[in-house]
Chain A
Amino acid sequence: MDCSKVEQWLSEYMESSLPPGDMEGVKKHLETCPGCSALLAEMQSVLALCHRYPSLEMDPDLTERILLRTSGRPRTLSFKERFIQSFVRPVLTPRFAVGASLATLFLILMVNLMIPRMSEAVSTLSSRGLLGVVDQGVRGLYGEALKAYETKNEWQAQFGRFRTNAWNSLRSIKEQMNEPVEGRKKSQEGEPRKIAPKEKSSALWLWSA
């Protein structure tokens, strides 16, 4: 088997798609011919390069453009895209960013106000100091809770007083409103009803005059 024949069959030899007899013939030739075996090695490198050549992903915008140009209907969004569009995108707005920043700032301020300075305890680095700070913090929180409880009781008492006063006021108003109605009823029952004299008609008045 000569080199030109082997060259013609190298691809099929690589893919093992030659008939068994030809496969054997090419194999024997390659064992003795450094030129053809070098060529085979390079062909294998080329094939490996081709297989590693990247496959590009199609841009979703391109799909959208094609669909709009053909069926006129926008593409169906995947679950992930729908999630991003519904929840993530609204969050990634300047308004949300400002709100989140303000909320974080507020939270930091609150934590700073509520919890005693940990830096002091850390600077001492003693368990006693840490315990003291924790104790101070717990006492502080207990005091705040007591204050809140007292405030709540005070507001409750104030509300109770307000409610009692309001009821009393309403009751007195009701009594005042009921009084004249009862008096009118008595007058209707006891005395005969006085009928007011009819005024003279304008014609009679002219006659009498």
Chain B
Amino acid sequence: MEPRVLSGDQKLVERCLQGDDTAWEAVVNSYGKRIYNLGYRYTSRREEAEDLTQEILVRVYQNLKSYRAESGSLQNWILRVARNLIIDHYRQVRRYPQAGGSEELETMNIHDDKVPNPQRAFEQVEASRFLRDGLQSLSPELKEAIILRDLEGLAYNEMAELLSVPEGTVKSRINRGRLELAKLLIKRRSQRAM
């Protein structure tokens, strides 16, 4: 019988399963930030994003045994777990809206030294608000496509694998999402001009 050749991801998972805590810590450090940001993009709330990150990584730890390198990269497998939990959370929140709590705004990285500080700060807040509100106005599918592609920088094939849809569908969703946001921006500008 030939010895099994393990991929990098599979080796890491094997080490985790053998009780190597440093390997698991490496997984948390590699994917924690991405999951946290993904949670934040969906919820716009830091606390909720933190809770989601914790739940997702606990779920990943409990289900490491079911990971198979043949079926895709560890990153996509973890993102799939994350996506499922985030969607569950989204449905739950939509069904039982939470009282209180405010959505936080992260200011954009707009570097323009010619613009005075208060104006720049105002523009940053406005840009953040526009993007957050724009994303909230999109349908879940389009929102997801924009988050994964334009905010998280996933490739088309990675998205297709993660969402279990053809690449053509991914491209179409991204285009529709961007178009809707662009139309929203035009509408907003015309309202301001009036």
Contact = CB atoms under 8 A, between A and B. Distances in A.
Do A and B actually bind? yes
Interface of A: 7-12, 38-39, 42-43, 45-47, 49-59, 62-63, 65-67, 69-71, 73, 75-76
Given A39-B179, A43-B178, A62-B54, A50 B131 contact: yes
Contact of A69 (B40, B58, B131): B58
Given A47-B150, A56-B106, A71-B25, A12 B182 contact: no
A6 to B, nearest CB: 11
Contacts of B22: 76
A52 to B, nearest CB: 5
B50 interface: yes
A52 B178 contact: no
Contacts of B50: 59, 62
A132 to B, nearest CB: 53
A11 B130 contact: no
B150 A42 contact: no
Contacts of A38: 186
Given A51-B150, A67-B24, A46 B32 contact: no
B28 A63 contact: yes
Contacts of B130: 49
B80 interface: no
A58 B32 contact: yes
Contacts of A10: 175, 178-179
A114 to B, nearest CB: 49
Contacts of B183: 39, 42
Contacts of B110: 52
A11 B174 contact: yes
A67 B57 CA distance: 9
Contacts of B182: 39, 42-43, 45-46
B128 A53 contact: yes
Given A39-B179, A54-B109, A63 B171 contact: no
B106 A75 contact: no
Closest 8 CB pairs of A and B: A42-B182, A50-B150, A11-B175, A70-B61, A73-B21, A43-B182, A46-B181, A52-B108
Contacts of A73: 21, 25
Contacts of A9: 175
B185 interface: yes
Contact of B131 (A7, A49, A57, A58): A49
A50 B154 CA distance: 13
A49 B28 contact: no
B91 interface: no
Contacts of A54: 106-109
Nearest to B107: A54
B42 interface: no
B125 to A, nearest CB: 12
Interface string B33-63: 1001100100000100110011001100100
B29 interface: yes
Contacts of B21: 67, 71, 73
A49 B53 contact: no
B32 A47 contact: no
A192 B59 CA distance: 107
Given A11-B174, A54-B106, A62-B53, A45 B28 contact: no
Contact of B185 (A8, A12, A42, A63): A42
Nearest to B41: A53
B151 interface: yes
A56 B174 contact: no
B179 A43 contact: yes
A73 B25 CA distance: 9
Contacts of B127: 49, 52
Find the residue from B61, B146, B150 having the highest chain A CB count within 10 A: B150
